[in-house]
Structure 1
Amino acid sequence: MRLRCVVLDDFQSVAVESADWSVLGDQVEVVALREHLDGEDALATALADYDIVVTLRERVPFPGSLIARLPRLKLLIASGMRNGVIDYAAAQAHGVTVCGTASSGTPPVELTWALLLGLARGIVRENNALRGNGPWQSTVGADLHDRRLGLLGLGRIGSRVARVGLAFGMRVSAWSQHLTRERAEEVGVELAVSKEQLLADSDFVSVHLALGDRTRGLVGAAELALMKPTAYLVNTSRAAIVDQDALLAALHEGRIAGAGVDVFDVEPLPAGHPLRSAPRLLATPHLGYVSRANYTTYYGQAVENIRAYLAGSPVRRLP
């Protein structure tokens, strides 16, 4: 029997062209959905006739209640080798194999710097003014050289962001709950005594932590109040690490100079959402992982995962 495979959230209509799905031959029919499916009922209805689901990052939760409503589902493939919104125990209980793919940390590092530089030099505002026959030179850029970059997290991505900051001549410090002085020295940065010190001292703060019980809401109203009014916050990690309402209040009240945000509590961000019109905000629609190389990896390895499953030897199994 021919299996049916659906690729979720193919917003740019590039999933099929990013890999050679033809190697699956007549064994698998592949369909890519461009529109986001929101809510368990919508997902249960739309996915009922598919044996294989390819999901993008952690945008679509697969709790046990949804998996139970998909009796035809045999293989669930997630991009990346870590996914916090899939109920693995329920998948196993219902005979669903879960596999992942590799994911490069390079694109989020590069986007972090795109946001930081865009904020520092007023790129969007100046571009809009120039193209709209507005004022010539309406902003005064914030310098990076000899300014302090504070990193919340110094893992795979944070350490690479740190090295770019050092190349700009910035003074870089980092903090996380288990960060050691040895690790900080290995990267060539200072270890901040506390989260509070890092926030108070930094001219730019960038978030690079995994989301968990200890990091959810880590940056709230009290933490934002510690930042300089001339400082900028960048979050390309997970939305829930920074309290959204507190950030909106800080931006509207001008208590920080600005923020660069690539991740949101709800994605895609609904029309009319307060973040769409917030002042001092440079926002992108979760582009951190979106690059040609990453998509080639995601979908190319998704095809490999399907072929391996069909051969009876699944690869890159999660968790």
Structure 2
Amino acid sequence: MTTNKKKIFITESFSRSGRALLQQRDDLDLVEFPNMISAGDFETMLRQHAPVHGVALGATRFGEPELEASKDMKVVTRIGVGFDAVDIPALSRRKIPLMVAGTANSPSVAEQAMFMMLTLAKRAVEMDSIVRDGKWGHRLGMLPYDLYGKTVLIVGFGRIGTRTAKRCQAMEMNVLVYDPYRPAAEVKAAGCEPVADLDAALPRADFVSIHCPKTPETVGMFNAARLKLMKPTAYLINTARGGIVDEPALQAALSSGKLAGAGLDVFEQEPPPAGHALFALPNVIMAPHVAGVTLEAVDRMSEQTARNILSVLDGEPLRQNVINQDVLG
């Protein structure tokens, strides 16, 4: 017995509301796969269920082997906005769109960046330990800082960077923006100061918040030379992707007092290995790559991912969410 149903792979973290949008359709068959599945197991699973027509990815890698195993892939989507784990040229060769969740998680990441700035400036970890450890009298020896009047440099002025800028402006900070792909007029219209030279802007910043994609151009962007340009009182925040910051160089700068602190939601290797050098530093706060994965963001991203899949299957792809625009007619 044959069926005309399209088979859609979704991760186990796909939200109930996102599933509901797909389950309303009687022409779709949903297959769930684990979030942390190995490349080999994922390829085998695709082959077993082939033909597979759509996939909603978490962090799982996807490229030529997975496309071959799928047999009839029509659309690849990410429950998020990053796409460095997807082989875009492989998709484009087959005219398959790669789609992302648009603005669904950008408020959440912007909030995490602001949270990390505040946590570091207000010395939240130290203040908490002073109370818990009965060292009340030490509080005046490690006074916190204000964001008010400070200068923040936002690297990348896309969906997340623009929202981070608004939150920094609400804290009455001076906002510099480095993004060579955005017109200076657009940055000025948002009430920020565009900077064309990253190296020249770094010495001005009290905080640097990274919001650019991970590309060959941005890998190692914050290396030892760049970190040396920052003030010793400055803080670096990375909620974008691991690898944009050179971790050994960051560890050296933080441990030698050349940089005041850092907030990291992402790492070169995820999860980072046990005993990572950054773990021993008290001036680093860390999170396990969850800036864009709040309860609300998962709902928004899953729902947008479901709409992305349906738009392609119905012949009207949501163009603004397609990364490889070359596949569109």
Q: TM-score, normalised by structure 1?
A: 0.82
- Distance change (3 Å), C-alpha of 1:213 and 1:42: same
What are the residue-to-residue correspondences of 1:121-140 with 2, within 5 Å?
121-130=122-131, 132-136=132-136, 137=139, 139-140=142-143
Of 222-231 and 244-253, more deviation after overlay is shown by 244-253
Cα separation, 1, equivalents of 2:28 and 2:157 = 44
Q: How big is the shift at 1:281? A: 0.9
Cα separation, 1, equivalents of 2:180 and 2:309 = 39
Secondary structure, in 3 states, of the residue corresponding to 1:237? coil
What are the residue-to-residue correspondences of 1:266-277 with 2, within 5 Å?
266-277=269-280
Select which of 164, 168, 171 maps to 1:165. Answer: 168
The CA deviation string for residues 259-310 of structure 1, in whole angstroms up to 9 with x for no partner, is 0111222233344443444431111112222123332232223434555566
The CA deviation string for residues 60-93 of structure 1, in whole angstroms up to 9 with x for no partner, is 2212234224447565332356734323453466
Counterpart in the other structure of 1:85: 85
Gaps of 5+ in 1: none
Secondary structure, in 3 states, of the residue corresponding to 1:49? helix
Counterpart in the other structure of 2:256: 253
Cα separation, 2, equivalents of 1:193 and 1:17 = 42
Residues 60 and 85, structure 1, Cα contact 8 Å, conserved in 2: yes
Secondary structure, in 3 states, of the residue corresponding to 2:48? coil
Counterpart in the other structure of 2:113: 112
Residues 174 and 198, structure 1, Cα contact 8 Å, conserved in 2: no
What are the residue-to-residue correspondences of 1:69-84 with 2, within 5 Å?
69-71=69-71, 75-80=75-80, 83-84=83-84
Cα separation, 1, equivalents of 2:135 and 2:44 = 52
Counterpart in the other structure of 2:24: 23
Question: In the alignment, is residue 237 of structure 1 matched against residue 240 of structure 2?
Answer: yes
How many residues are aligned here? 310
Cα separation, 2, equivalents of 1:153 and 1:302 = 24
Select which of 56, 65, 71 maps to 1:54. Answer: 56
Secondary structure, in 3 states, of the residue corresponding to 1:172? strand
Counterpart in the other structure of 2:185: 182
Aligned-pair identity in percent equals 28
Question: In the alignment, is residue 262 of structure 1 matched against residue 262 of structure 2?
Answer: no
Cα separation, 1, equivalents of 2:292 and 2:110 = 9
Select which of 274, 279, 283 maps to 2:282. Answer: 279
Q: How big is the shift at 1:256? A: 0.6
Q: Which amino acid aligns with 1:135?
A: K
Q: Which has the higher contact order (CA 8 A, sep 6+)?
A: 2
- Distance change (3 Å), C-alpha of 1:301 and 1:66: same
Cα separation, 1, equivalents of 2:40 and 2:99 = 24
Q: TM-score, normalised by structure 2?
A: 0.79
Cα separation, 2, equivalents of 1:98 and 1:176 = 24
Secondary structure, in 3 states, of the residue corresponding to 1:239? coil
Q: How big is the shift at 1:142? A: 1.6
The CA deviation string for residues 234-271 of structure 1, in whole angstroms up to 9 with x for no partner, is 11122222212211221222321100111222233344
